[in-house]
Each structure stands twice: as structure tokens, then as C-alpha cells.
């Protein structure tokens, strides 16, 4: 009886923990010019804790990252791009005051870094 109670308490605790962690998806503007750059970005970001999927696209200049927000965040992902040698900014964030800037210096929902 005691073992069953402890097991139930453990299950409840684990379910509460998983409720706080959520998978999120963020799209970055990133200046990638070829498949070599795509591979470098994908390799570096996939090595980050909590990252489950990375899709870099040099034609659109975007990278879509799916991650567990309990293990990483957008700031850490942005740093991972920098470590790979690329400047990245979350889609929709104004990057006018950042290295590389935006072409139109305004928040956007389309890639302005190509």
C-alpha cells in the first residue's frame, strides 16, 4: 500500500513538472548564403540543450527552431547562432540597434536580412 501511494505521488509530481515545460517554436532571420551555412547552423543549434528541431533555409534567410523552454530560451539560441559565426534575430524583432541592423529598420514579420 505504501509503495503504491509513493508511486502515485511520483506520477503526480512528474505530471506537474511537465506542465511547466512547453515546446516552443521560434523563427529567426539569419544571413545564411548556402548549404554549408545551413549545416553549420543546424549542427550548432541541435547541440544546444532542449533543442528538438532545427530547419535552416538559405533561400528564405530563416531558421525555424523548436525547443523546450524549460531548458533553453531565445537569448541562448541567439548566442548559439553567434557561436556558429552567424548573426540572427527572432522574426518580428526590431534589429535596427543591433549589429547587422534591419534593412528597413522596423519590426517585421518577414525576413529583412537577405
Can you tell me the mean pLDDT for 30-37?
A: 90
pLDDT band at 10 (very low <50, low <70, confident <90, very high): low
Distance between CA 107 and CA 114 in Å, rounded?
15
Question: Would you say residue 114 has pLDDT above 50?
Answer: no
pLDDT band at 78 (very low <50, low <70, confident <90, very high): very high
Question: Would you say residue 14 has pLDDT above 60?
Answer: no
- Domains, the chain, ranges and CATH? 22-114 (3.30.70.100)
Does residue 11 or residue 40 have the better pLDDT?
Answer: 40
Q: Which three cell numbers stand for residue 79?
A: 548566442
- Cα distances (angstroms) measured from residue 107 to each of 24, 35, 40, 77, 110: 21, 27, 27, 20, 9
What digits encode the pLDDT tens for the residues 39-73? 999 999 999 999 999 999 999 999 999 999 999 99
Amino acid at each position: 500500500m505504501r509503495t503504491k501511494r509513493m508511486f502515485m505521488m511520483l506520477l503526480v509530481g512528474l505530471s506537474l513538472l511537465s506542465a511547466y515545460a512547453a515546446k516552443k517554436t521560434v523563427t529567426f532571420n539569419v544571413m545564411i548564403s548556402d548549404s554549408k551555412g545551413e549545416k553549420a547552423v543546424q549542427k550548432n543549434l541541435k547541440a544546444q540543450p532542449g533543442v528538438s528541431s532545427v530547419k535552416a533555409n538559405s533561400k528564405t534567410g530563416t531558421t525555424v527552431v523548436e525547443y523546450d523552454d524549460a531548458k533553453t530560451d531565445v537569448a541562448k539560441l541567439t548566442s548559439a547562432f553567434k557561436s556558429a559565426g552567424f548573426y540572427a534575430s527572432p522574426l518580428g524583432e526590431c534589429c535596427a540597434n543591433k549589429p547587422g541592423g534591419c534593412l528597413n529598420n522596423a519590426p517585421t514579420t518577414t525576413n529583412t536580412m537577405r
